[in-house]
Amino acid sequence: MTVNAQPSLLRLDSSADSSGESVSRRLTTLFTDLWRERYGAAGYRHRDLVAEPVPPISPAYCALGRRVEGKGLVPPGEVGALVENPEEEREWALTLPLVTEVSTADTVLLGVPMYNFSVPASLKAWIDRVTFPGAFPEGSLRRTRVVVALARGGAYGPGTPRRGFDFQEPYLRAYFGNLGVAEENLHVVRAEMTMADRLPGLARFRPMADASLAEARAVLAGLVSG
């Protein structure tokens, strides 16, 4: 994380629903609006992983990554010197800006709907590409704050029938923890039962859905002011 007078926020949206009904996008918008009211727009960067998809990694990406690992890992600024062909040059040109965005952000905000019990492919493609060997040296992200706004159509908390089906939150916690983000700087906010107002069979859970969304909004607002 950089130490600047002007805080910086990187927002990542991964919901395929751009109609305005996406709960995860509504939550990231709330956080962003409050953050910009407090800090201004200068440090804000938004990457829509659906409108601007991150290409899946390729054999050239893997070849370059193995070469970097063979050198004992090198800083991102020196990777370009190890590129051997146009395909690797293209892969690194796609990767370095993403790495730089994360490295220079004070806060990384992610909007993540649950798709088939896990994260969207759009986010997974970003994760696969940004996690280049040596991109984030040990300790470099320890002070970076990561805020994850989750949206789930059902309920997956303790005591629910589908608790064991949640491969969304545990995956993201493991990923960012392994990346070096300190546990106290990783904030996961959940809005559950988001399909209750759309599916007749879930109508009885609408009060639960409303309460969950209200709590998520309140927590996010608190994270901005905190």
Characterize 138-174 residue by residue with b for buried, 16 or more Cβ atoms within 10 angstroms of its Cβ, and e for exposed: eeebeebbbbbbbbbbbbbeeeeeeeeebebbebbbe
> Rounded mean pLDDT of 163-183?
97
Tell me the pLDDT of the chain averaged across its residues. 95
81-120 per-position pLDDT tens digit? 999 999 999 999 999 999 999 999 999 999 999 999 999 9
Known binding residue 185? Answer is: no
pLDDT of residue 73: 86
**pLDDT value of residue 100:** 97
Q: Does 103 count as an annotated binding residue?
A: no
Q: Is the pLDDT of residue 3 over 70?
A: no
Q: Which DSSP symbol is given to 71?
A: T
Residue 129 near residue 31 (C-beta atoms within 8 A)? no
Residue 115 marked in a binding site = yes
The reply, when asked if residue 117 is annotated as ligand binding, is yes
Mean pLDDT along residues 16-28 = 95
Q: Which residue has the higher pLDDT, 3 or 104?
A: 104
Q: Which residues pair with 190 in a beta bridge?
A: 150
pLDDT of residue 158: 87
Residue 1 has pLDDT above 50, yes or no: no
Tell me the whole-structure pTM to 2 decimals.
Answer: 0.94
Give 61: exposed, middle or buried? Use CB within 10 Å, 0-12, 13-18, 19+: buried
Q: Is 225 annotated as a binding residue?
A: no
pLDDT cut 70: percent of the chain above it: 97
Backbone angles phi, psi at 84, to 5 degrees: -115, -10
Place of tokens 């997974």: 124
pLDDT value at residue 132 = 97
Pairing between strand 44-48 and 107-113?
unpaired
With 0-12 / 13-18 / 19 or more C-beta atoms within 10 angstroms meaning exposed / middle / buried, residue 97 is exposed
Range 9-225 has CATH code 3.30.565.10? no
- Residue 99 near residue 135 (C-beta atoms within 8 A): yes
